[in-house]
A = this chain, B = another copy of it.
Amino acid sequence: MPSERIREHAGQGATTVAAHRRRLRADRARQLADLLRHQLLTGGFPDGALPHEAAIGADYGASRNTVRQALDLLRAEGLVERQPGVGTVVVARKYPHGLDRLMGLAETLHEHGRVTNEVRTMGPVPAPVPVADRLRLPVGSDVLYIERLRRLNGLPLSLDLTYIPLDIGTALLEADLESTDVFRLLEATTGQALGHAEITLEAVNADAHSAAVLQAPRGAAVLMLERLTHLADGRPVDLEFIRFRGDRITMSGLLRRRSL
């Protein structure tokens, strides 16, 4: 944590000494929380308990107050809890979803447990114009619409809205969607591997209804993934809007400075 040597830049406008101190303390708590979050998410506390506050303070060169405030931030995020007589324990796990390769949820999380899908809605619908455009279908075509609540080891993980061209989608109507990724079904149905997907990620606050479905608090941060997946031959076959619970998923990948 920043020592007293650090040079603080004056903010805009005048602040009182007390306000300045509060800001410094909050800044330091955030720095420490970020470092502890990384440890949490990467299994840095394998026995599930964090060290005592004093030990954290010593490791990170932080005051007891800063340690407490940092732990408060992690508790507000639902990552840790304070247990009387035990200390601070890790309560939430975030699961890593790869950003390096196009994979379905069950594929990417297979080592973390079993993905099950509750199909909330499934059936043909007239494609809205932008859906028809993106799936390169004539306006007025029907598409297969699927809405799934996806769970990992029984815990709600994501709410997925999926549009698939009907010539491919029809075969999915009788498939085992409860326990199979759509990606696998698309490859089995078309006899072709998937090629690539264009993705967009956003952080949004969950609306009341989405939060209820995901069993998350209203306004909970959601990692929203929009993904248009193409077959190996380039045809777009799967448009998805996926809301991941922010407290249960991370997306990890590797970026290069120069393109390969």
- Using a CB–CB cutoff of 8 Å, the interface residues on chain A facing chain B are 1-3, 5-9, 11-12, 23, 26-27, 29-32, 34-35, 38-39, 41, 44, 59-61, 73, 76-77, 94, 96, 99-102, 118-126, 128-131, 145, 147, 161, 193-205, 207, 209-210, 219-224, 226, 232, 241, 244, 246, 249-260
Contacts of A3 in B (CB 8 A): 125-126
Q: Are B123 and A194 in contact (CB under 8 A)?
A: no
Q: Are B221 and A6 in contact (CB under 8 A)?
A: no
Q: Are B223 and A202 in contact (CB under 8 A)?
A: yes
Of all A-B residue pairs in the complex, the 9 with the closest CB atoms, nearest first, are A203-B246, A6-B123, A26-B209, A203-B203, A203-B223, A102-B255, A203-B221, A34-B241, A221-B221
Give this chain's copy count.
2
Closest CB in chain B relative to A226 CB, distance in Å: 6
Q: Are B250 and A125 in contact (CB under 8 A)?
A: no
**A101/B41 contact (C-beta < 8 A), A35-B130, A121-B6 known:** no
Q: Are A254 and B198 in contact (CB under 8 A)?
A: yes
Q: Are B130 and A39 in contact (CB under 8 A)?
A: yes
Other than the known A99-B253, A101-B257, A201-B223, what 19 A-B pairs have Cβ atoms closer than 8 Å? Answer: A2-B123, A27-B120, A38-B226, A61-B125, A77-B204, A101-B255, A193-B257, A194-B257, A198-B254, A199-B255, A202-B249, A202-B250, A202-B251, A203-B244, A204-B221, A205-B221, A221-B222, A232-B257, A260-B260
Contacts of A123 in B (CB 8 A): 2, 5-7
Closest CB in chain B relative to A185 CB, distance in Å: 14
A76 CA to B207 CA, complexed, in Å: 8
A60 CA to B145 CA, complexed, in Å: 14
**A246/B204 contact (C-beta < 8 A), A9-B122, A255-B101 known:** yes
Q: Are A1 and B125 in contact (CB under 8 A)?
A: yes
